[in-house]
Amino acid sequence: MSVLVGYDTRLVVHGMSGSAGSFHAKQMVEYGTKVVAGMTPGKGGFKVPGLEQVPMYDTVAEAVTLAGANTSVIYVPPPAAADSILEAAAAGIDTIIAITEGIPARDMIKVKYVLDRDFPHVVLVGPNCPGVITPGQCKVGIMPGYIHKPGGVGVVSRSGTLTYEVVHQLTALGLGQSTAIGIGGDPVKGTDFIDALMLFAEDPGTSSIFMIGEIGGDSEERAAAFIKEHVKKPVAAFIGGQTAPPGKRMGHAGAIISGGKGAAADKIAALKEAGIAVSPTPAEMGKTLAKVLA
């Protein structure tokens, strides 16, 4: 079992003729993902080297009607990415995974607003995220596929490379993953912790959860309250940025402590208060969950 992506995923790659899009489309095909179409405006009918078997279209609507696409992955550069997300929703795509880093907040405010208003059934993951993978079934994004292993741990994370880190640690301990979701580090995003936790809580294939948060905002605190109330499965967590100085933007637009809000200590306290095991260092994430499950 899995959430968001799996055997039923039929993927259209937005920006497949670009360097990032074509590189990762090839990796996804190799992993076994059903990449049914590529999309770049003005490149309909084009053959992308190494991906000649995948038809290219000018619009997402064609990818849906002609190739049966039901999931979008966005590699479009930041100035055009918001537009591409909305095009996917309008074309009838259900799951949109936006990898693009650097989309202006003003654009994402509008995207989120329109999705909430006109396409409430559409799930957006990202932007600025590594994507979603259901090990052994389907990889949508940029994560290294080989570190994953099918199993029962649902992983949700705000950080890309820390997701790889925890997955690697879990796999080394023999703990496979049901689905790993990178929700991204941007301040305005689609799926947040609570959305992902709801999916994992209901998924029969997920037996435990690992959550990686970081400084900034209060979504970890809200997630902790949600877990306490609604999630019966074992949860372990880690919070990155415990030693980050206030007022500095640490790469992610989201990772900034401002005005005393969003400090790691508050988040860790909230998680512990909800009965969640918190890993003391990023090197012990796998072990922390293993201990809970033992």
Piece of 68-76, 108-116, 202-210, 268-276 that binds another protein (CB under 8 A): 108-116
Q: Is there binding between residue 284 and another protein (CB under 8 A)?
A: yes
Q: Which of 14, 24, 148, 252 is catalytic?
A: 252
HSE of 166 in the Cβ direction (CA atoms, 13 Å)?
33
Asked whether the beta carbons of 128 and 104 are under 8 A apart, the reply is no
To another protein, the closest distance from the beta carbon of 182 in angstroms equals: 10
Return d(Cα 250, Cα 82) in angstroms, integer.
23
Which uninterrupted H or E stretch holds 112? helix 105-118
- Which residue type does 12 have? V
From 212, 224, 268, 278, residue interacting with another protein (rule: CB under 8 A): 212
Piece of 48-56, 61-69, 85-93, 233-241 that binds another protein (CB under 8 A): 233-241
Looking only at Cα atoms, what is the longest distance across the chain? 56
Piece of 47-55, 67-75, 173-181, 217-225 that binds another protein (CB under 8 A): 217-225
Asked whether the beta carbons of 238 and 282 are under 8 A apart, the reply is yes
Q: Which residue has the tokens 């609570």?
A: 194
Return d(Cα 23, Cα 21) in angstroms, integer.
6
Which uninterrupted H or E stretch holds 266? helix 264-273
To another protein, the closest distance from the beta carbon of 267 in angstroms equals: 13
Q: Is there binding between residue 241 and another protein (CB under 8 A)?
A: yes
To another protein, the closest distance from the beta carbon of 86 in angstroms equals: 13
From 139, 148, 158, 267, residue interacting with another protein (rule: CB under 8 A): 158
Return d(Cα 82, Cα 105) in angstroms, integer.
10
To another protein, the closest distance from the beta carbon of 228 in angstroms equals: 18
3-class SS at 11?
strand
Quick check: is 252 catalytic? yes
Catalytic residues: 252
Tell me which residues touch another protein (CB under 8 A). 20, 23-24, 78-79, 101-106, 108-110, 112-113, 130, 142-144, 147, 157-165, 168, 185, 187-188, 212, 214-215, 217-219, 222, 238, 240-245, 247-255, 259-260, 280-284
